[in-house]
Structure 1
Amino acid sequence: MVFETKDGPFQALAPVNLDVTAGRFISLIGPSGCGKSTIFNIVAGLQPPTTGRVLIDGEDATGQIGRVGYMLQKDLLLPWRTVLDNVALGMEIQGMPIRQARERAHPYLARYGLGGFENQYPNSLSGGMRQRAALLRTLLLDNDVVLLDEPFGALDAQTKRQMQEWLLQIWSDFNKTVIFVTHDIDEAIYLSDEICVMGTRPGRIVKRMETPLERPRKRSIVVEPAFIDLKHHCLDLLDTRPEDSELEAAE
């Protein structure tokens, strides 16, 4: 991916091949500026790639908006709409009548921790509850692929743990393919089937690794040798200099 700047072409991403099996949970970790958000923008159709294609279920989806669900760190709830109407918003934009969208969304609020808050407005919700509403809005778009860009980055530690548990439950229930960006290595290991470690100058995938932990997972796995070994390996990769990444990729 190359951007034109006043100083000439800038290569933000090296060639990236990110093949994700349906139903898997993949995390991208890496330093700021390594291209994680650029990858998301390309997959979501918001940014055309310089070269290459985006394939979803074998079909070319390059530059097509609406083929994936995309949730940013900010919940972007509309303050003048109730929680129910915020959750229903995506379906309404897709053309579903508002009454039908509300009827479809309503049972999910009760099931996933927002029961009783249907008619409240976002400013009366906690950060975790706002993120629940935003994620439900994204999932109810019925896209097979969901991109989550640091959705829990602004939450306190306790709420973040609760939201991680909630996300694993809802991912299991909805059977979506999730690509998750985070700076938290523990979070990536706990949630994911696979982890992609990225490097910079230009952005690239340095290594892709399976998470050798059975599901369902308990919090106690953070002290298991497999968890600790993988965490240390990720940290080592993140500390690798760009020239060392190039050498490893070449090998």
Structure 2
Amino acid sequence: MKYTPPELRTVEVTRYVTPLREGGSLPALVEADDEFLYVLKFRGAGQGIKALIAELIAGEIARILGFKVPELVFATLDEAFGRTEPDEEIQDLLRASEGLNLALHYLTGAITFDALVTTVDTRLASQIVWLDCLVMNVDRTPRNTNMLMWHKELWLIDHGASLYFHHAGYNWEEQARRPFVQVKDHVLLPEATELELVDKEFREILTPERIQNIVALIPDEWLQTIDSPFESVGEHREVYTKFLETRLAHTEVFINEAQHARKALV
């Protein structure tokens, strides 16, 4: 099958529907000019643009690996959009988020995944644990699974807590070779018995070209806005590519950590 580089559509936010208070980054349900509903992740909230970059990279890696992930789109918020918002906190958030944001297609009627209700087979569980170890996603725990059941299928959402190396001075060389110790809290770790088989399959899919194409999706304006130690947008962007390529070259580090953590549970 011919490989097609990923692309993201851009939509214009036309209506603020309601805040989604359960999210740490204060996401909101909005309507866009294509008349679809989206969960909007604001550049002006929480961890800001870095969370959007993590959401974008991890979400598109998940998609290319075959997981079900809601469509990601760039969402433009006009400077006049929040002027009529009566809630002062929301108005401040809207004004801080003018410009290009990120949104996920809203899965109407989806319910939160509950490991006590729904059983995930060992293959899929191993695939999800492997993905989260690769991108260092700390937010897939029993308390907050960040997975949805929609039309009897499992969907992955909310990857903004991934790639946390960029919150700590971009020390990517050291971070890329570290085990993912937080895997011990992963909701699917007890069922993840096929990590080595999944590792071989997924490393073949995530070629350098595909990693580079995913990282290339990061808008220049996001990288220009972030305070960073890099001299150029290109250098800043390359760090994400190098981080992921290094982790892919040393997957045995996080696989061994996951296997040890799993043995401690079962």
Bin the TM-score by the shorter chain: under 0.3
Give TM-score, length-normalised by structure 2: 0.23
Compare relative contact order (CA 8 Å, sep 6+) and give the higher one, 1 or 2: 1
Give TM-score, length-normalised by structure 1: 0.24
